[in-house]
Amino acid sequence: MKRLIYFFFAVAMMLPAAGCNDDPDFIKNAPPSSGETDGTDDDSDAGGDGTVEGVDPNFQIYLCFGQSNMEGFASLDGTYNGIEDKDKTEDERFQVMAAVSGSWNGVQREVGHWYTAVPPLCRSNTGLCPADYFGRTMVEELSKTNPDIKVGVIVVAIGGAGIKAFHKTKYNEYYTGTDDWQRSLMDIYDGYPYGTLVDMARIAQKQGVIKGILMHQGETDGCGLEWRQDVAEIYKDLISDLSLKSENTPLLVGELLNDDNQGLGKDRNSELPKIKELVPNTYVVSSEGCTVVENDPGEDGKNRYLHFSSEGYRELGRHYAQTMLDILANQKPEDPNASVPASNNHFDLTKLDADLESDPNPSETSWNVETGELTTKTNGIGGWKFETPIDLTVSNYLIVEFSEKPAVSGTRLAIYSDSYNVFDYSYTNGTIEGNMIVIDIKNGTFETSK
């Protein structure tokens, strides 16, 4: 028997398995755990802020994904990669984790290991990218007040890739429907770029703190509603699978090239702010003043106006960094001694009595609205749903009270949009206060369908 108060989901489940992921599409092998990694396996014990005991809180980690402009545009004939001598200076405070193995200018890099960040960051045959000067600018500025700061980036990017290539579940749909050259690039990441990004991030969480997600993509798809929905799903899955807090993990979305009104950005950049409707903690990074590469001809011999020049990448990276620096400056540090929030910040389940629909199999699970008790199956699985949409933005916290104190990572709470097959969001950790789990939900809005 488990007693819950103020517990409201479209469909809610409690699973007694720590940090598990039951999605059959999410299966990847753990990368090597020797050398510059910490020597532990891939199962992350990360808490709600992306950290575990023993990690360096001064090591900030950023996940970067997208298509050719995040990859670092390099011409097919090898005549251009944007990297100049001044880009090759080394600063040990700026690190990159290799997402693929290979030889970088004669130096072998292995998957899951950290290296001093020298371009190219994505793969050995890619070029200068925004992450280069994002990281350089971050360590330069942050070290002015914190000499111990380090910044690490993980770059998983594919030239020409549609947004579904990076999706947790839709990647296979994209893979089977795209061209051979796109499949060959996805194969570099075992055909599953999302899985590679999460695998690398889980290793990184054992050493540092994930502070943000950087994305530059949209040339292939446009930036319409379906694209924005896919971006939101990718973001929410990353937050869930890495046990992060959305309010502490901003999504930085870079504008497309808009050079003298000739780039794709002139028509699409205006759509980017609409992502905030789906992911409130989104920041659009301006591409103003970021110049175009001149030797990028299309089939007609004219410049395609798709890719940034070397200086364009440097400036765009600085823009990403300044955006992130502003975010960090405005973030309020969490109070480790904070108690359970005041009850007037909670959503009262009894307000929705009339909309509550009983479990389809009440003989195995049941919910008593009057006593606030949920009786579950032997292994703890149970749940219910509402007939009408629930706006979670009216409250700040979800409070779950158990008859016995649960393990910190022993309970999984999941929210589904309309069926058990459509996973929308989950919380894998919360603040333990006695027999309660306190979960911050102030940024979430979830709806059910009748």
Question: Which of the given ranges, 30-44, 183-197, 419-433, has the highest pLDDT on average?
Answer: 183-197
* Confidence (pLDDT) at 72: 96
What is the spatial distance between Cα 364 and Cα 381, in angstroms, rounded to a whole number?
9
Q: Which two tokens stand for residue 434?
A: 């006695």
Query: In the structure, what pLDDT confidence band is assigned to residue 400 with cuts at 50, 70 and 90?
Result: low
* Confidence (pLDDT) at 337: 55
- Please choose, from the candidates 58, 427, 400, the residue with its C-alpha nearest in 3D space to the C-alpha of residue 208: 58
Domains defined for the chain, CATH in brackets: 2-20+342-440 (no CATH), 59-330 (3.40.50.1110)
For residue 101, pLDDT beyond 80: yes
Report residue 21: phi and psi, to 5°. -135, 110
Q: Which of 42-56, 200-214, 235-249 has the lowest mean pLDDT?
A: 42-56
Question: Which of the given ranges, 105-109, 211-215, 424-428, has the highest pLDDT on average?
Answer: 211-215
* Confidence (pLDDT) at 45: 43
What is the spatial distance between Cα 317 and Cα 134, in angstroms, rounded to a whole number?
4
Higher pLDDT, 99 or 374: 99
Give the model confidence (pLDDT) of 126-170 as tens digits: 999 999 999 999 999 999 999 999 999 999 999 999 999 999 999
What rounded mean pLDDT belongs to the chain?
A: 76
Side-chain-facing half-sphere of 321: CA atoms under 13 Å: 22
CA separation, residue 319 to residues 43, 66, 290, 313 (Å): 34, 17, 9, 10
